[in-house]
Chains A and B, each alone.
Chain A
Amino acid sequence: MSMQLKERPVPNGVILEMTGDLTYANREHFKTAVEAIRQKGCRHLILNMAGVRFVDSSGLGLLALVSQNFKLNQGKVSMLKPQSYVREIMSLANIPKLIPVYDNEQDALAGHQQAA
């Protein structure tokens, strides 16, 4: 399963619309896209996961790495609307502890964290 990525600028950040699976096979595609956004000086990356059906162990590692890299530049990463199966995988790995999860764009932009 491939992955489509679409960038959309928002005030003080970038929303990355993701569709497909975030897996080992798509890691380079995702890494390259996110790194390009970070290089442009983006401080807040919002990953819209609504179109993501599955995240494998490689995908989780990438999310942790991306979050660490943004923190190095005083930036942050948030996640928007993960599907229930993905949300379950995320919670098991305690990812919301590193990357806050939001259910709508306004909250993500405002940075008010909701219970994951």
Chain B
Amino acid sequence: MPPTPIPSHTQAEADHAIPQTVLVVDDEPVVRLSLSARLKRLGYHVIEASDGRVGLDLLRRERPDLTILDWMMPGMDGPTFCEQVRQDPELQSSQIILMTGHDQPDQIAEGLARGADDFLSKSASKQEITARVQAGMRTAKLLRTLEQARDEIQRKQEALERELQSAAEYVESLLPLQGHVLPGVRVVHAYRPSLALGGDLFNVVPWGDRLMGLYLLDASGHGVSPALRSASLSTFLRGDSLLHQVGSNDPGVILTEANKRFPLTEDGNYFTIIFARLDLDSHRLSYATAGHGGAFIHRQSGTITRLTQPGLPLGFDITNIYSAAETIIEPGDRLFFLSDGLYEAPSPTGERWGQDRLEEAVHRLGQAPLEDVIPAVIAEAIRWQEQDLFPDDVAVMGLEVDV
């Protein structure tokens, strides 16, 4: 069938190359045909329905730009039709003009309340019909534009989330494997970023069979930029890189060099970090911290010793010298490195969980397997904050020395 020729002077053609569609729903054939003919003369594509139910089907199938609807119809009347449209998420933005024989203010109010967008009296002049249809079309066009923009944003959002997810998988691939990292040294960890991408990272740096480095770092801020900065610092902290760029396995020397290479960013972002070196022959643990509070030893005897020294976070002062402190790790002792996201978990009233409660929880769990201790401690923090999601990244690395 050849396309209906459209008069060149119409508003409809000025707006669109494809004619806009009007659905006319009216049970009286004479009224319906005469309104359709008038709309066609105005350049619109017209589809017709003789009752509400057929009208709803057409609305769903054809998605016309505008619906002109009779109030009084057998079966489903106009206002009921409007109500059904407004309750349907697919259809609810449809533009509807309700047509009545008499335009009583009460009736107009009821029609609008039940979901019509505008009114048209059956006795309206040709000019009024044209004007109201054009007004309805303007609104319909704006709504379509909004819906398209919304859909576009949603598509882009989904693409972005997929990207973030794959970046997050990359970051998690940087974490150490759990289990024995050296003969006699077992690592268990948990990693709960607050967004898809976290700014916390930790790892072990094996230097032969009897000597290892280990660290946990926390990049301030949330999202993509801290995750990238963390990945960059963790690359610097790889064994081969430390050998070439620092030439020492002393934690103080390593942090002093890292401090020069990772200055405060323009937004005031930086790292806190603890870096330690464990010598399995002498059982000496040498460690240096840069503004990092989350580190302690849970001795087999039950005592908990914090490994904290006051120290500027990395980048606060590039002339700063970091120096290492030392302690002894006996077989059966456990070393915990964690980010502040865990012990700074806020209760609903804003009170922080705190390091004391964290250490009490670890103490209470006693010599339960490390694999159970870490999830149990996280569960305790979750109970404190009364929600599953932590507002900050949470990272915990536990290490147990068996020999």
Residues of A within 8 A of B (CB): 1, 21, 24, 27, 31, 53-54, 56-58, 60-62, 64-66, 68, 85, 89, 91-95, 97-98
Contacts and interface: CB of A to CB of B under 8 A. Distances in A.
Nearest to B293: A92
A115 B218 CA distance: 29
Given A24-B221, A65-B264, A92-B293, A60 B350 contact: no
Can you list the 3 inter-chain pairs with the closest CB atoms, starting with the nearest?
A: A65-B268, A61-B268, A93-B291
Contact of B310 (A1, A21, A61, A91): A91
Contacts of B313: 57, 60-61, 64, 93
Nearest to A1: B350
A27 B354 CA distance: 23
Interface of B: 218, 220-222, 264, 267-270, 272, 291, 293, 308, 310-313, 315-317, 340, 344, 350, 352, 392
Given A1-B350, A54-B352, A57-B340, A92 B310 contact: yes
Given A85-B352, A93-B310, A98-B312, 5 more contacts: A24-B222, A61-B267, A64-B316, A89-B293, A92-B310
23 contacts: A21-B350, A24-B221, A27-B268, A54-B350, A56-B344, A57-B220, A61-B220, A61-B264, A61-B267, A61-B269, A61-B270, A61-B313, A62-B268, A64-B270, A64-B313, A65-B264, A65-B268, A68-B264, A89-B293, A91-B310, A94-B291, A94-B310, A94-B311
Nearest to A20: B350
A56 B392 contact: yes
Nearest to B354: A85
B350 A64 contact: no
A26 to B, nearest CB: 13
B352 A60 contact: no
Contacts of A56: 340, 344, 392
Given A93-B272, A97-B312, A64 B264 contact: yes
B311 A58 contact: no
Nearest to B292: A92
A56 B352 CA distance: 11
B243 to A, nearest CB: 29
Contacts of A64: 264, 268, 270, 313, 315-316
A85 B316 CA distance: 21
A89 B354 CA distance: 11
B218 to A, nearest CB: 7
Contacts of A89: 293
